[in-house]
Structure 1
Amino acid sequence: MTNKKDYQSSIADMEKALQETREMAEKHGGVFHQQAEDIAAELQREKEAWANEFTAWDIVQVSRNPKRPNFHEYATEVFTDFLELKGDRVFSDDQAIAGGFARLQGKPVMLIGHNKGRTITENVERNFGSAYPDGYRKALRLMKLADKFNVPIITLIDTAGAYPGVEAEERGQAEAIARNLVEMMELRVPVISVVTGEGGSGGALGIGVGNRVLMLSKATYSVISPEGCAGILWRDGAYADTAAEALCLTAPHLLKFKVIDAIIDEPLMGAHTDPQQTMKNVGETLVRELDALSGKDGETLKKERIERFSQIGFFKE
């Protein structure tokens, strides 16, 4: 995209004009109804035109938008009766990952996800969704609890990555993530993972070993951030846009490579422009996927999950 500010300004101006015209139509009717329809149609065409020009780097920016639905919004809008469970029973309750029992259309599930905040205070408390080992150990504790009671597991992934600080390393960050990968392979209940925003490296994979891995259309999923990749390969973060293209981190690429199983639609300009529709799409998809997995026995689910991840990375020249 050549000029991000231009498209944002253009869309904002048209949305404002549409709102004003609709208000006039409500008050005076007549010709204003047709004008509102015309502006709405033009706005849709404008969004489609801009969306078709999105680069991988543009999508990275959209996936990071702070107004995208976060874990607690999914927990209350898509699910009901969410009961949060806290603590890893080893060190602390890492607020960067949240989880607990919930219901999806009346059916019990264990819901776990990265927990970004809305305000600066919330983000500091939740470490901007970058979990310590305590968070991954908490997630594993909840997964084992779900496995014990034969309850399906749904994980929502949205993190720039696991926290790389000294404290995290001292408490065994690598071991905690590796342990989750091993233990999740052994679960005998359906596991569905959804990348709702950023899918950052091992921090994402630590709760992402699912029978089905889904992804919102403007989310990203990658072994490293574009900035990190640019810093390593070109020793200059200014090449982040080039790195984003090379990493093939967008949903269509990952579906092609069979890293994910399906793409969930979100609004053309991103989930932040219509959070309610986005969450509705996620909920409907989860219901379908869970129904498809619910008839399978534990051994089959475990076997299929292992086979799914074992096949990633194979290629023919």
Structure 2
Amino acid sequence: MHNGNVLKNFIRPKAEPYLFPDNLQDETPSAARRNAEEDLREGFLDELFVDGAPRADDSPAKEKDGFQKPEQTEEPLAAAGRIQFANVQAEAILAAAKEEAEQMKAASGAEARTMAEKIREDARREGYREGYAEGMAGAEQDLAERREAQAAKLEQQLQTFLENIALAQDELMEDAKTDMRDLAVAVAEKVVRISLKSSSGVIAKMIQDATEKMKKREWVHIYVSGCDAKGLAQITPRLTRALSGLSDHIRIIPVAEEEGGTCIIETPDSIIDASAPTQMANIRAMLENISPDDGPSQNFGRRPGNR
């Protein structure tokens, strides 16, 4: 590229008188002329543009006399260059703005995605904490309810078990009482039988005990078993004297069909059964805690031979 001074020298040539020859001919070759014109055009463009930008026009537009200078003949070319440059600059600005917008859009989208992800993560954590707290509270309540239900069930089972034990104890005690009562009565009966066989004084004592609180009667009949009458005959005089206050007419009457230990006392107005079997039955009834109304009554009205 040529220096801009070439254009200045061309636009503002030194005024010198020139005389055209009479026989003027253009002896410049065509190629050389075209090169000169191209250099002139490039120098003109260098003068108008500096680094791609239009150069400021510091020359006055008109001379003092109001006419334009010769260099203004290239104004259409400069205007076209400015327009082209403005278009290029506009496209560059639009491209830069578009690129910046895309970058801002991408950055905004990334930031929005990051924020959304953070919000989702915070919501997930908060939901997890709330769910965990609710789950723990529900589990504790459910566990407490289960423990209460289990404790109530165990308490009911224990109560039932204790009641069953009490019933079993009562049954055992009842069975034991029955067994002990039967055993005691059996032992007593055996002792009485042995006593009756070994001593006739037992029958005499039974008669005295039965008539001890009786008032004086006109007569008294005492019925004993046949086996006991033999031994009682030996003490009859002594027994009659002991019963003299009861009556002046006392008779001891043996009854063959009665069992040993039979002792029935008959007076004009009463009959008392003081027999050993009857007393054993009364003892058995008392051991069974039977009231007198429900229990077997004493055989005050049983006559000898009637069982």
Higher share in strand: 1
Higher share in helix: 2
Give the TM-score band, short-chain normalised: under 0.3
TM-score, scaled relative to structure 1:
0.24
Q: Which has the larger radius of gyration?
A: 2
Structure of higher RCO (CA pairs closer than 8 Å, 6+ residues apart): 1
TM-score, scaled relative to structure 2:
0.24
